[in-house]
């Protein structure tokens, strides 16, 4: 977990792992036993359950210990995000450089997109209902919901219709100027689905869901 993540959420996650470990251990008692305990079907999953529970409890203990540290120690810890031997961490490198975006704004046509993302908080209050809805749909939860709807629709509407709609929705959501790109994203989604259909159905002979439209 990142340093910024709340210890409380880590406690919840570890608590869930501990509970799962206990459930795995107890659930193994429902198996039909055979042979000796060590060579039977229970021993291994129960061992996994025990290790999972113990690891989760140790982690909980460590998190609680960390959270009791004085604030000054946290400040000291954060100041450790400095260079050693002149080689920064992978995490800091993967984040990219601060000047990268500045350059991309000045050198590339994507300046407008970046401006949109850098909207100040005051402007956010004036967002329309549609913009807020788009924001929700673009969140991981929103994307999960759209994907859930897609999987539900896949069996009913079939691969072609459901997937064109799904790809189009995703394309529109992430397009910087969606109003101007309705047709373009629809055509691109159709093409993408057509390529996938040709590859899987005609080349790989793998059937895809047909749905009510056959």
Partner 1 sequence: MLENLALGLATVIQPVNLLFIVIGVALGIIFGVIPGLTATLVIALLLPFTFGMDALPSMLMLLGIYSGSMYSSSVTAITIRIPGNPGSAVMVLDGYPLGQKGRAGEAIGMACIASVAGSLFSVMVMILVAPVIANVALRFSAAEYFAIGLFGLTAVAAISGTSILRGLLATCLGLFLATIGTDALLPAFRYTGDMPVLMTGVPLLPAVIGLFAISELFRLGGADQAMTAASRTIGKVLPSAKELLRCSKEILRGSVIGTGIGVLPGAGATIASFMAYSETKRSSKHPETFGKGEMKGVASPDAASNGVTGGSMIPMLSLGIPGDAVTAVLLGALVIQGVQPGPALFTTQTGLVYSIFVGMLISALVMLVLGLVSVRAVASLVKLPPHYLIPVIALFSFVGAFANSGRMYDVWLALGFGVIGYLLERYGVPVAPVVLGIILGPIIENAFRRAMIMSGGDLTVFLTRPLSLAILMLSALVILLALRSKRTLARTETVGV
- Pick the closer one to partner 1 by CB: 71 or 106: 106
CB of 204: closest distance to partner 1 in angstroms? 4
Task: Name every residue whose Cβ is closer than 8 Å to that of residue 209 and which is 6 or more positions away in sequence.
Answer: 154, 155, 158, 159, 162
CB of 174: closest distance to partner 1 in angstroms? 4
- Pick the closer one to partner 1 by CB: 38 or 130: 38
Q: Does residue 156 contact residue 210 with C-beta atoms inside 8 Å? A: no
CB of 99: closest distance to partner 1 in angstroms? 8
Query: What sign has the CA pseudo-torsion 143, 147, 148, 149?
Result: positive
CB of 56: closest distance to partner 1 in angstroms? 6
CA distance 134 to 179: 13
- Pick the closer one to partner 1 by CB: 63 or 129: 63
- Pick the closer one to partner 1 by CB: 71 or 204: 204
CB of 179: closest distance to partner 1 in angstroms? 13
φ and ψ of 30, to 5 deg:
-80, -10
- Pick the closer one to partner 1 by CB: 129 or 175: 175
Q: Does residue 157 contact residue 211 with C-beta atoms inside 8 Å? A: yes
- Pick the closer one to partner 1 by CB: 40 or 125: 40
CB of 64: closest distance to partner 1 in angstroms? 14
């Amino acid at each position: 977990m990142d340093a910024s993540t709340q210890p409380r959420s880590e406690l919840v996650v570890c608590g869930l792992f501990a509970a799962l470990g206990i459930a795995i251990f107890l659930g193994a008692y429902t198996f039909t036993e055979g042979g000796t305990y060590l060579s039977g079907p229970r021993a291994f999953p129960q061992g996994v359950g025990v290790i999972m529970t113990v690891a989760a409890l140790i982690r909980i203990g460590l998190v609680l210990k960390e959270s009791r540290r004085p604030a000054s120690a946290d400040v000291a810890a954060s100041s450790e995000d400095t260079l050693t031997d002149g080689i920064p961490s992978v995490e800091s490198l993967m984040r990219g450089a601060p000047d990268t975006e500045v350059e991309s704004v000045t050198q590339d046509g994507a300046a407008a997109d970046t401006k949109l993302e850098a909207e100040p908080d005051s402007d956010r209050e004036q967002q329309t209902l549609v913009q807020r809805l788009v924001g929700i749909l673009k969140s991981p939860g929103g994307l999960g919901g759209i994907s859930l709807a897609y999987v539900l629709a896949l069996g009913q509407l079939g691969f072609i219709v459901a997937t064109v709609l799904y790809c189009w929705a995703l394309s529109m959501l992430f397009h910087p100027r969606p109003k101007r790109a309705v047709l373009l994203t629809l055509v691109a989604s159709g093409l993408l689905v057509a390529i996938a259909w040709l590859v899987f159905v005609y080349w790989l002979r793998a059937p895809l869901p047909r749905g009510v439209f056959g």
